[in-house]
Chain A
Amino acid sequence: MRRNQRRALAGAIALATAVGLTACGDSGASDDSGSGSGQIELSIGTFTEFGYEDLLKEYEATHSNIKITHHKTGQGGPYHQQLLTKLASNAGLEDVVAIEEGHLSDVLDKPHLFNNLTEIGPKDVKPDRWLDWKYQAGTSKDGALVGYGTDIGPLAMCYRKDLLEAAKMPTDEASVKAMFESWDSYFAAGDQYVQATGKAWFDSDSQIFNAMQNQLDEGYLTKDDKLAIESNKDIKSNWDQVTAAGGRGQTAKLVAFSPEWNAGFKQGAFATKTCPSWMLGVVKEQAGPENAGKWAVTDAFPNGGGNWGGSYLAVPKQSKHPKEAAELAAWLTAPEQQVKAFEKTGNFPSQVEALDSPELLAFTNDYFGDTKVGELFAAQARKVGKAQYKGPGDGKIQENATSPALQAVEQGKSPEEGWQQAVDAAKKIVK
């Protein structure tokens, strides 16, 4: 027994050593330098679904000297985590990386991190390819283009027709437009709904507040990167308006993307929802087939429109093949390719030509009553006048200061205390 055990243990150790050695041997083969025949290996990193799988194959087919490896991470959180770590350690990034707009402002004015795409990218790629505000948001203060825009999230308003009808509120097109024309009318309609049914009007304070915040000229920081949360009176008045409405019962107090929020769709816990284009898919999945046709989407959005979400493709300075990487990124963000991605995953294009493409304009969504959503969101996208200036830390303030503070108010804190919490947290982020 003992002898057999000894043999087994010795064998196992030998095995482990062998595995270790072969693993060590492998690292040589995975170096990305070309195999001598002019082959260039490019890697691209994305998160959630960008719809690039077929496109990358197409690119490889037309560029015989290029081989592409696609790294997909599931959710945006871990992906950006990894991105930050690799930026900080200055190693390990792909040649082309996707960055969401909320995280872009953190890396925009650090020239040592990313290449300037106007310098290394194809010369025929011009700013007018994209919606003006999308392009501007990807440009640093010094005028360097850090990211080619991929998709956007133009805002529309989704609402439950049947719930409104049950509250004896009008659901014809003209009335709906009037209801959602301004924030004042939106909240007034909310009061009406709450009085009639006792149920919530929207899912959470922060969803409404963020939309209102995004419509301001400047975000949480002024153009000279000073914290504006106290100096900009509009921010506080938005806060007051939202928390007051929430206090009157309009909020369902559900944190976006939490399991309870998912459940809320099924339960009909709220009657309206701020809907960027990508939210349609979420609503459909969460509300389920039994609610098909009950949700509608309208281009009437308080104060016109707005944007929530959207990404860019950037080329890190770490890349060994910046020029080829920029070419790939430019190709992927060309209107034709973006429309193909839209057809695959619903990511709404940010390219001007794409907004006019017939495929897009004809696109309908049967879950939402066969509305021509392509056309709808294209119109919404154009309504966004200019890019809101987002200074470094803007996204963090939204995620870690105002949203949690609004949640605290929903959980019982007074709006004034909540505001103080938000301000304190914002100051900490920016210090």
Chain B
Amino acid sequence: MTTVTRRAPHQGVAPAPPGPPKLTFRQRLSVADVKWSPYLYIAPFFVVFGVVGLFPLLYTSYLSLFDRDLLDLEGTFIGLGNYTELLRDSQFWTALTNTLSIFVLSTGPQIVVAVGLAALLNTRLRAPTGWRVGILLPYVVSLVAVGIIFANLFGPNYGLVNSVLEIFGIDRIDWQGNRFFSHLAIATMVNWRWTGYNALIVLAAMKAIPKEIHEAALIDGASAARRFFSVTLPLLRPTLIFVVVTSTIGGLQIFTEPKLFDAMPGSNNGGSSNQFQTITLYMYQTAFETQHLGYASAIAWVLFLVIIVIAIVNFLLTRRLASTGAEDDR
């Protein structure tokens, strides 16, 4: 294209700097696309969450400021009264201790075993799909069945576990009555259900590690153990963070397993003296059994805060433990 050149009309006056080129419509569309499409893509989640998560959350926080029973038309405003009462509530502290105890007993071993399992599965196996189906099976079995099965296995009088213990000369254990052993039993239920699931997640990440990296480490003369800790583990970091954070959040919220474990069917008590009542179960009991809705809302909010704190702690911990130093994490 020929351009027409013009002589500057006035000598001595600097020509105005050329402004930005005028964009065509298509180019403007493209700019808008880059600018706004991210918001569009994340929108579905926030819309759904707005209705399904945010609204109940706000409503619950509103409720927690009232003394209101489930079936009342309205409650009396008591400000932070529910929260102060919660701090003095021994059952709440029992539930909190139970929750943390079960959490430690389940999440810790679970993740270690899951990573180990994934490493085992990462070898060349015959019928790999079969193994993966196998370890995922617990996750797939319905909760109804899980409750029946474990209640039977851990029954103090006629349960299989106690019978096996007797064969080895160990005393029978009252799995529902003893506080520590009830936590152990429930942690077993949780571990049984979730370890395979987490192992497959870690396996997927392991498979995504390019072979060249392993080869490079091999050339550098790294032993298998060293390779695992210095190469594999750090590269698994995003996945491990995912597994740890979700296990933390899930683990602190467990509800179904302790509810199903009680000898009294349908009970929300978590044991005759709340030996294994978790916070979520306590909240559920308060809302739907004793029907103190305002108080239950306060429990829910405190749990929410506890989860956030512990999840952040775990997130930072995992990041540190599985780090190589500099990491490209843009």
Contacts and interface: CB of A to CB of B under 8 A. Distances in A.
Contacts of A15: none
A48 interface: no
Describe B's contact surface by its main secondary structure: loop
Contacts of A258: 151, 155, 263-265
A260 B155 contact: yes
Interface string A49-78: 000000000000000000000000001111
Describe A's contact surface by its main secondary structure: helix
Interface stretch (B47-55, B284-292, B314-322): B284-292
B157 A254 contact: yes
Interface stretch (B9-17, B20-28, B266-274): B266-274
Contacts of B308: none
Contacts of A407: 263-264, 272
A393 B148 CA distance: 29
B73 interface: yes
Interface string A390-420: 0001001001100111011011110000000
B167 interface: no
Given A88-B71, A405-B272, A421-B273, A396 B290 contact: yes
A114 B57 CA distance: 29
A259 B155 contact: yes
B71 A106 contact: yes
A contact residues, range: 35 or more
B166 interface: no
Contacts of B271: 404
Interface string A340-355: 0000000000000000
Nearest to B156: A260
Interface of B: 70-73, 91, 148, 151-152, 155-159, 174, 176-177, 263-269, 271-273, 285, 288-293
18 contacts: A85-B288, A87-B71, A88-B293, A255-B263, A258-B265, A396-B290, A400-B268, A400-B289, A404-B264, A404-B269, A404-B272, A405-B273, A407-B263, A407-B264, A408-B273, A412-B177, A421-B273, A429-B290
Interface of A: 75-78, 81, 84-85, 87-88, 106-107, 110, 112-113, 254-260, 263-264, 267, 393, 396, 399-400, 403-405, 407-408, 410-413, 421, 428-429, 431
Given A113-B71, A259-B151, A260-B155, 7 more contacts: A258-B151, A258-B264, A399-B289, A400-B268, A405-B272, A408-B272, A411-B272
